[in-house]
Amino acid sequence: MHFFNELLGYGGISCETLQASYKPPMEREETSAKKHAKRSGKRLWSHEEDLRLIRHIEAYGKGSWTTLPQKAGLNRNSKSCRLRWMNYLRPDIKHGNFSPEEDDLILRLHRLVENRWSLIAGRVPGRTDSQIKNFWNTRYRGKKHIYSSFITI
């Protein structure tokens, strides 16, 4: 939890907001899985990288994503930084399980607009299109017959 205290010195983010919304990355060891990740090119964001990104945005705002990685001292591309902020680090994002109300709302909205995740996310406060897409894919993909039987509009 020291991580949250560390961030409090960088303005604008309350302790409550951070604690509710941020899960620091796991300490990761040099496992075979990590070696494989290196080979495949997929690299999870470290605690330090998150901190750098948050500090930079708190200090200078989002500005241009293309110049942000260099200015913030991040060895990441602009798309990666944007994605990390938009889908994970933004203080207004809710983390944790979807409530039954959210679940129901997503089901209804998906029935209306199908896979327009950003549109659905716009109607579900605190949730991102990515969160909703993941939620849907893990819970309902390939199970349309199950949910369609109990949805009511």
Partner DNA sequence: AACACGTACAACCGCATTGGT
Partner DNA sequence: GACCAATGCGGTTGTACGTGT
Interface ranges with DNA (CB under 7 A): 23, 25-26, 28, 31, 33-34, 36-37, 40-45, 64-66, 76, 78-80, 82-84, 86-88, 95-97, 115-119, 129-131, 133-135, 137-139
User: Based on CB atoms, which residue is closest to DNA, 58 or 152?
Assistant: 58
User: Based on CB atoms, which residue is closest to DNA, 1 or 26?
Assistant: 26
Residue 69 near residue 75, CB atoms below 8 Å: yes
Residues 6+ apart with CB under 8 A from 69: 75, 76, 77, 78, 80, 81
Q: What is the CA radius of gyration of the chain?
A: 18
* CA pair distance 36, 34, nearest whole angstrom: 5
Shortest Å distance, C-beta 27 to DNA: 8
DSSP alpha helix (H) spans, 1-153: 2-8, 15-21, 32-40, 47-60, 68-72, 78-84, 100-113, 117-121, 129-139, 144-148
User: Based on CB atoms, which residue is closest to DNA, 9 or 100?
Assistant: 100
Shortest Å distance, C-beta 123 to DNA: 12
Shortest Å distance, C-beta 15 to DNA: 20
User: Based on CB atoms, which residue is closest to DNA, 9 or 135?
Assistant: 135
Shortest Å distance, C-beta 140 to DNA: 9
